[in-house]
A = this chain, B = another copy of it.
Amino acid sequence: MAERGLDSVGHTPTDPMALAIGAAGRAGALGEVPVGAVVVRAGRILAVGHNRPRAAHDPTAHAEMIAIREAAAVIGDERLTGCDLYVTLEPCTMCAAAISFARIRRLYYGAADPKGGAVESGVRFFQAPTCHHAPEIYGGIREREAAELLRSFFAERR
> Which residues from chain A sit less than 8 Å from chain B, CB to CB?
53-54, 56-61, 65, 68-69, 72-73, 75-80, 92-98, 101-103, 115-118, 121-123, 125, 128-132
Contact = CB atoms under 8 A, between A and B. Distances in A.
Copies of this subunit: 2
A117 B130 contact: yes
Contact of A130 (B54, B68, B97, B116): B116
A97 to B, nearest CB: 4
Contacts of A75: 57
Given A72-B59, A123-B93, A130 B101 contact: no
B58 A69 contact: yes
Given A60-B65, A93-B125, 15 more contacts: A57-B75, A57-B76, A59-B80, A60-B60, A60-B69, A60-B101, A60-B102, A61-B78, A93-B94, A93-B130, A93-B131, A117-B130, A121-B130, A122-B130, A123-B125
